[in-house]
Structure 1
Amino acid sequence: MLRPDNNKTSTGETVLEIDLSALENNYRYLVSHIAPGTRFMAVVKAFAYGSEAARIALKLQELGADYFAVAYTNEGVALRDAGITRPILVLHPQPISYKTIIARCLEPALYSENLLEGFAKTARDEGQKEYPVHLKFNTGLNRLGFTPEHAGKIASEIKIIPCLRVASVFSHLAASEDPAEKEFTKDQLRSFARICISVEKELGYRPLRHLLNTSGILNYPDHQYDMVRSGIGLYGFGNDAVYDSKLTPVASLKTVISQIHEIGAGESVGYNRAFRASTPVRTATLPLGHADGIGRQYGNGKGYVTIRGNRAPIIGNVCMDMIMVDVTGIDCREGDEVVVFGKESSADLLAAAAGTISYELITGISQRVRRKITG
């Protein structure tokens, strides 16, 4: 007799569930750590960290987020098309997109003389007056940004460009989650304070100032300035076990068992026969693979999934569309639900098992995986 099937997904497919109630919990927790009047910039780049940017941003706009940040212009355009009316900062604009930025009322981060000159020319050509731009300064991450020593010079140049107005001055902390790098972070904080003084002195007005990311909000609350930025924290990760316990992962990746095999001793599983059974093994094949964001680094026993509350290690090489897991001793059958990561099975732990971080895992989930909005 077949036993009752009470563990199937509602869809019988691979799906990324996105819980808007978890997003609200995370937003409210982060806001509780900032002073009244401090603005909140929600970072929704990379499909809102691999989830669903439009629905995430609309929910955050409803909750009261003051600003949004994206990496690229097309991400900002998609938010405008979805109905986002709040200001949107484009962190990494490219010259080819300057006209689009202006047409869609997006706000570029300017981090070099070339960008400043190029965007100013486009703004003039487009008949703009006091178009909002953001000045990014490099205080130690050494990725993008004007040098601190040139803060006054850059401000004096913009002051005499009538088509531009500085909406904000900002930088990015390199290691705000790492207690071992506290002195380095303090150096960045001091550098940013000097930058703000120089810029304000030359401009003759005070733009918004923002420096703190998620870990900065939680670890350096005395440096909130006018606005804070949060990305990973909104999606349920605080880069610290203490804070992780207060946050709830927004995304849960679930799939289903396609087929179960009984593998005899001496038989192999998957490409290149990477797994060879020394004793009889029961395996389950699941419909997701490296084309869905579960990279090959999770194979051969490093990664795992959860089935009926039990960990099932990934065996053999991860395939493009499938992975095989060891379900020896697990009471399961074809059609049963499988949790890859979620609220009870952290993406942090799964990523760590493969030597990477939650950011890479959650942002890498392919767009071919169906998104299901809950909450």
Structure 2
Amino acid sequence: MSTVGETVFEVDLNALRHNYEYLRSELRPGTKFLAVVKAYAYGHGAPPIALFLEKLGVDYFAVAYTGEGVELREAGVQAPIIVLHPQPVHFEEIIAHRLEPSLYSEEVLQRFAVTAGNGGLREYPVHLKFNTGLNRLGFDAGDVDKVVSFLEQHQAVKPVSLFSHLAASEDPEERDFSRVQISAFKQIADRFEHLAGFRPLLHQCNTSGILCYPEAHFDMVRSGIGLYGYGNDAIHSARLRPIGTLKSVISQLHRLEKGESLGYNRGFIAERPTITATLPLGHADGIGRPYGKGKSHVSVNGQPARILGNVCMDMLMIDVTGIDCSEGDEVIIFGKDPSAEELAATAGTISYELVTAISRRVKRSYKE
């Protein structure tokens, strides 16, 4: 699809298929695969991504909030969907749309069980999250006994899985810490099985966990950023393909003479004659001000072009001096060169933040 005249986030579904199949190849046969499609599938568009992955055989999906799960159901996604951070105010909506909540505290467990019970439900599927060191959400190891006791008295809910989250699985300097987390989770699972008499699905690995800790794959793994083409280190990223390319277009060219300024607060002052190009995207589209003032570059006809001055809400300006280009030419903000990882690094952040920040007003285009 041509991008002439507009900014578009182009998503390559063949690359998504490649990443899924590569990550699957790292698993033992029978290990289930949970695709994380929260935050609008990391900016790439949750309904089309989830529907495509469902056809490929993904076993589970995960979203952060209830509304994200509802959007998938309304788009036709049938596979189980975990809501990772449900709020009690949405419990009835979760049940109405066949979503499965992550329950992470005694109060949340009790309140959901009451909601399910009041609806006449029995053994509604839930997921119990245990904290093993991330210290964000989750029951503690010492809570296992009272959780099992509560479940025995309240038949409205039944755990489909127990899970935890590795805090630093991508960091080789933190391997000892990760192994402590894995060991702690195994002890929690063993204690739960001993008391409850059954063993739910176990899952702890995120993308980096899949690639670095095969001993912790358990019954299911969760992948987010890896599906979208990033592996958190050069070796693994080389085996993955970024699925999203953010493209824009040159709206207008300007010539600045030495001493002339550009943009708000005169954020760039030309030290020599300079040709600039204005693009129709800005910080309201997800390319924030930290990328301006020469810190970052985009690609114009295969040539790097620095972002000049302060990024505006709806526009940014680049230096195309010496680059053969015209108004209407395509500009690559990130994709292969620069990649989202490379562009994000120039602003002191990570690919996750960059891709999830792409505004919904930016058109998504899908190709296979």
CA distance in 2, matches of 1:120, 1:10: 50
- Report whether the alignment pairs 1:333 with 2:326: yes
Given candidates 228, 234, 238, the residue that maps to 1:241 is: 234
The 1:122/1:233 distance shift into structure 2, 3 A limit, reads same
| Shift of residue 204, structure 1, vs aligned partner | 1.0
Given candidates 218, 221, 224, the residue that maps to 2:217 is: 224
CA distance in 2, matches of 1:367, 1:45: 14
- Report whether the alignment pairs 1:118 with 2:124: no
| Shift of residue 317, structure 1, vs aligned partner | 0.3
Residue ranges of structure 1 left out of the alignment (5+ in a row): 1-7
Structure 1 partner of 2:159? 166
- Which sits farther off after the overlay, 344-353 or 225-234? 344-353
* 1:312-345 Cα distance to aligned partner (Å, 9 max, x none): 0101000000000011111111110000011342
Structure 2 partner of 1:49? 42
SS in 2 for 1:172: coil
Structure 1 partner of 2:307? 314
Answer yes or no: is the 8 Å Cα contact 1:260–1:334 preserved in 2: yes
SS in 2 for 1:47: helix
CA distance in 2, matches of 1:284, 1:10: 17
| Structure 1 letter corresponding to 2:323 | I
Structure 1 partner of 2:169? 176
TM-score, with normalisation over the residues of structure 2? 0.99
SS in 2 for 1:234: coil
Answer yes or no: is the 8 Å Cα contact 2:4–2:330 preserved in 1: no
| Shift of residue 132, structure 1, vs aligned partner | 0.6
Answer yes or no: is the 8 Å Cα contact 2:300–2:332 preserved in 1: yes
Structure 2 partner of 1:4? none
Detail structure 1 runs of 4+ shifted over 3 Å in the superposition.
8-11
| Structure 1 letter corresponding to 2:267 | A
Aligned residues: 368
Structure 2 partner of 1:155? 148
Structure 2 partner of 1:250? 243
Please give the residue correspondences for 1:1-375 in structure 2 after superposition, counting only pairs within 5 Å: 9-375=2-368
| Shift of residue 10, structure 1, vs aligned partner | 4.0
| Structure 2 letter corresponding to 1:288 | L
Answer yes or no: is the 8 Å Cα contact 1:290–1:318 preserved in 2: yes
| Structure 2 letter corresponding to 1:210 | H
| Shift of residue 198, structure 1, vs aligned partner | 1.2
| Shift of residue 9, structure 1, vs aligned partner | 4.2
Answer yes or no: is the 8 Å Cα contact 2:3–2:249 preserved in 1: no
Work out the percentage of aligned pairs sharing the same amino acid: 60
Tell me the C-alpha RMSD between the 2 structures.
Answer: 1.0
CA distance in 1, matches of 2:150, 2:95: 21
Structure 2 partner of 1:3? none
CA distance in 1, matches of 2:311, 2:20: 35
SS in 2 for 1:334: coil
Answer yes or no: is the 8 Å Cα contact 2:5–2:249 preserved in 1: yes
Answer yes or no: is the 8 Å Cα contact 1:9–1:336 preserved in 2: no
* 1:174-222 Cα distance to aligned partner (Å, 9 max, x none): 0000001111111101110111011111211110000000000000011
Answer yes or no: is the 8 Å Cα contact 2:127–2:159 preserved in 1: yes
Answer yes or no: is the 8 Å Cα contact 2:4–2:328 preserved in 1: no
| Structure 1 letter corresponding to 2:367 | T
| Structure 1 letter corresponding to 2:153 | I
